[in-house]
Amino acid sequence: MHRPRLFMSDNEKTVTLVLNIAQPVLHAEREKQAITPALIAEKVDFAVATFAIDLSANDRDTVISELIRRFSHWIGKDSALHDSEGHIPWLVSARKRDWRYWQRYETFLQKRLSVDVVAALDESTDGILGRLEDPTREGAWDRRGLVVGHVQSGKTGNYSGLVCKAADAGYKIIIVLAGLHNNLRSQTQIRLEESFLGYETSENRDPGKPLGVAEIDSDPKIHPHCATTRADNGDFNAGVAKHFSISPEERPWLFVVKKQKTVLTQLLKWIRGHVADGTDTKTGRRIVTNLPLLVIDDEADNASVDTGEQWFNADGTPDEEHHPKTINSLIRQVLHAFEKSAYVGYTATPFANIFIHRRGATIEEGPDLFPQAFIINLAAPSNYVGPTRMFGLRTPEGRQGGLPLARYITDHVLRDQPGGWMPAKHKKDHVPVHDGKAALPPSLVEALHSFVLACAARVCRGQGSEHASMLVHVTRFTNVQKEVHDQVAHAMNRMRQQVTQRVDHEGLVDSLRKLWDTDFIPTSETVTAALSDSGEVLMMPSWADIMLALPDTIRDITVRIVNGTAKDALDYAEHDQIGLKVIAIGGDKLARGLTLEGLCTSYFVRTTKMYDTLMQMGRWFGYRPGYVDLCRLYTSEDLVEWFGHIADASEELREEFEAMAERNATPENYGLRVQSHPVLLVTSPLKMRTAKNLQLSFSGELLETVSLFKDRRLLERNLGTTNKLMVAMGKPSESSPMRLRGGVQQNWSGSHLWNAVSPDAIADFFEAYATHPNARKVNSKLLAEFVCNMARSNELTSWTVVLMGGGRTENSHTFETGLTVDMLKRVDESSGSDRYSIGRLLSPRDEAIDLDEKAWDAALAMTIRAWETKQKSTQPKAPEVPNGPAIRRVRGKGAEGVAPAPERGLLLLYPLDPRSANDAASAAGKGFGDYTDPVIAFGVSFPASDNGVKVEYAVDHLTWEQEYGSGE
């Protein structure tokens, strides 16, 4: 969600007034006719004329563009896994009739966001609150859930709505756990002042000046109490808190606190000493019986999860003497101190939370934080720019569908030798040096130029008073950040002097003009075309306008190191009327939760390979209304590959979640499923509560070899392994197979298919095939073991094998059995590395080759149902082919009129042509040389199964740290 501004200039007030008049009129019209740009312009002019508003031509364009955006957004529906055991449904419309906290927040948002976005938030927060317990319910109860959003996608706006509704419903104490650092805690405090409190918090905890929702309803009778403030030292303080008194009749109390030992210890002590009104008869613990508690845990996978090894008794029950890690222990003790409690974790990377043992409990802390009650997957609006939108998805033709905003950098390191300006492994006393001088590499200079141009273009588009930020994240060491800050500040001072004083400025202006003409203009055209359905109106200013805006723009830009102090978060609020333009230099403090308002340009050097940590570092994801075409990500090609992998894996996991939600699975079912998901080998084993190994299941998975060898010996080995399999299988069951798909015939011309292949032959193939060590998911030895184990359980006993042919290359290959196929083309995306790296091996239709028409139709229907409830917002066109999870579910578990067939596995063999892989790699001397036989790649599709068979993947912490880096 795009954050509403706290204060507005006169121009912005005029624009907002017209928006607030025109939007409801258009909303009413939508029932009668389509909302077109022409109709929007008509209603804007009607509003201006009717109320005699003085609106300039530029502001009129701004209003029209904003309304086009608002009425072009799609909002999907959240999906949920839930367990209703012990829960009593309670949230009905009548209960909401007199709610004032939510009503004023809803009205506040409607003045700034589309009606549809606010309606979606209302429905989403109802879904969360309704799965918690009625705060007026008698007796003891405890509900724990997890809300999974996207990085920078508006989770704070969602839990702000939940706070309002919880307070209206009767929750009396609301604790928001807001990260590990002061800046994030303060930022969260400010957001809740705006959305819930309605006043600025002051040192003495008395209400300060009205803001945010106070515009709608400033009645002091509903002012919530707040025990924390926005100040740097405004966290919970036992000295101040001892004077607080809380009773059931009072207005709700809000606590916004860090996940920090001292703070949480003081909070727990205060609860037991000043709030508790009863004693637990079994343990003698002081407890609160008369006040319902809601704990909202922001970034719930960070610090909240117990990473200590817990022991379990022979019967599987947890050891009650276990001592959890400090933060986890304190959070649980706070919850355990209340007879009526609810816990909701929010995160974009839920894997650590899902690995929490669902039966973990101790006497002192009570149950662990596994989201037993529910897991809710938030839908992202169509204007959200996430990993999939940014980097696209893998296809056999390479990665497609992404926006062309990434720019590869290489000059931060020395090629083929250690050292450079910012090498991957450097110490805390490293001094960044380029070409023998303490100066920026050209790529970072270009990134600074890009940011300056983006700021100037936004000024020309009427966004000059909006915040604009640049992220420089190249090191976790504060001393090195200081060196980078000094170099960036020097470069900006020099640029400021050149532009404003016109001293030696010709070279700089030429560089800026070249970047504008060769990068900004064509990129904007491409992005505008890609977003044609989104309602974005992205007009490019002339170069003359950019030059006029440059001097003031550069004067306004400041350079900051972002550490853990609250001031970093407060600066945006202090500059809200004019917009803060800042280059933020930092490391770990920037990596989680902290929002960089108006982020335009990012210069990022990877510090970890871990899936969840890397995802959280992606501060460039989010909403970029009216300036997405101006955004740039300067990073390494390697990092783009990893983020592309994240995009694929996220999509895959969300599809799996939708499939489980459709069949009413519980969080426990999903937890067991994700724990064996091979993609999560890039999540810290500490967070997975395991010291040395992972238990993996491949049931319901599709695995593809997308990292392949270039070594001739290994290529010949894999080709020989394929020949051996083909000899064992004998004559194909079909050649050039054909299938009916939706009444239309589909052909696999030039391919050969075998049915009823034995599991022994498949296991032998996997055992002999050499998978690349960089393959993130595909380990042939584990696959061989898994097939054998499943066969012993009478599953995966009858395989379909397809040798894919009919490629678009001119080269063919004849195998030992006499079968000849045309080799296929897959582009090498590795840019000259020692491995053959491809985007996607399978064509989407290939995985369903073994389904008959009825099964294919059932899988497509399942895919469309998921699309209608979730993906319609970001994918307006209905799917025409079934997705992978649906295919594997229908194959393994059946559907109406389709018998389950868990015995059927599918192995697809792809002979790839090395001569058509990548000319650039060959030119760099890292191609295939004179090797012309096929590179054998494979895809294997396992049917869904509840069998529970797993194989063990061994890994120790030292190896993990060396390969993937530290966890946080």
Q: What is the pLDDT of residues 61-89, one digit of tens each?
A: 878 877 877 776 667 788 899 999 999 99
pLDDT at residue 963, rounded to an integer:
43
Tokens representing residue 383 in the block: 């204007």
The region of weakest confidence among 604-618, 677-691, 700-714, 756-770 is: 677-691
More confident residue, 264 or 357: 264
For 641-666, b/e burial (b = at least 16 CB within 10 A) is: bbbbbbbbbbbbbbbbbbbbbeeebb
pLDDT at residue 161, rounded to an integer:
97
Q: What one-character-per-residue DSSP string does 780-845 give?
A: HHHHHHHHHHHHHTT-S-EEEEEE----SSS-EEE-TTS-EEEPBP----SSS-SEEE-S--S-TT
pLDDT at 389 over 70: yes
Q: What is the pLDDT of residues 734-743, one digit of tens each?
A: 999 999 998 8
In this structure, the strands spanning 935-941 and 702-704 are antiparallel
**Beta carbons of 616 and 184 less than 8 angstroms apart:** no
pLDDT at residue 267, rounded to an integer:
96
pLDDT at residue 695, rounded to an integer:
64
Q: How large is the average pLDDT for residues 693-716?
A: 85
The CA radius of gyration of the chain, in Å to the nearest whole number, is: 29
Q: Give the pLDDT band of residue 960 (cuts 50, 70, 90).
A: very low
How close are the terminal C-alpha atoms of the chain, in Å? 26
pLDDT at 4 over 60: no
Q: How large is the average pLDDT for residues 536-555?
A: 91
β-partners of residue 908 are 802, 939
The CA distance from 601 to 468, in Å, is 9
The CA distance from 818 to 795, in Å, is 32
pLDDT at residue 240, rounded to an integer:
82
938: three-class secondary structure by DSSP? strand
The CA distance from 366 to 361, in Å, is 5
pLDDT at residue 1, rounded to an integer:
45
Q: How large is the average pLDDT for residues 510-529?
A: 95
- Architecture of the domain spanning 86-377: 3-Layer(aba) Sandwich (3.40)
Verdict on whether the full-model pTM lies above 0.85: no
The CA distance from 675 to 696, in Å, is 7
pLDDT at 315 over 70: no
Share of the chain above pLDDT 70, in %: 83
Nearest Cα residue to 963 out of 696, 837, 774 = 774
Side chain identity, residue 750: G
The CA distance from 933 to 655, in Å, is 37
Q: Give the pLDDT band of residue 459 (cuts 50, 70, 90).
A: very high
Nearest Cα residue to 186 out of 230, 227, 155 = 230
More confident residue, 734 or 595: 734
The CA distance from 935 to 720, in Å, is 11
The CA distance from 871 to 865, in Å, is 10
pLDDT at 676 over 50: no
**Beta carbons of 240 and 132 less than 8 angstroms apart:** no
The CA distance from 695 to 693, in Å, is 7
Q: Give the pLDDT band of residue 853 (cuts 50, 70, 90).
A: very high
Place of tokens 């028409």: 853
Q: Give the pLDDT band of residue 583 (cuts 50, 70, 90).
A: very high
Tokens representing residue 760 in the block: 């022994």
In this structure, the strands spanning 798-803 and 904-912 are parallel
For 502-537, where are the alpha helices, taking DSSP H only?
506-515, 521-530
pLDDT at 690 over 50: no
Q: How large is the average pLDDT for residues 268-272?
A: 94
More confident residue, 798 or 781: 798
**Beta carbons of 442 and 421 less than 8 angstroms apart:** no
The CA distance from 110 to 118, in Å, is 7
Q: How large is the average pLDDT for residues 121-130?
A: 96
pLDDT at 958 over 50: no
Tokens representing residue 561 in the block: 């190191």
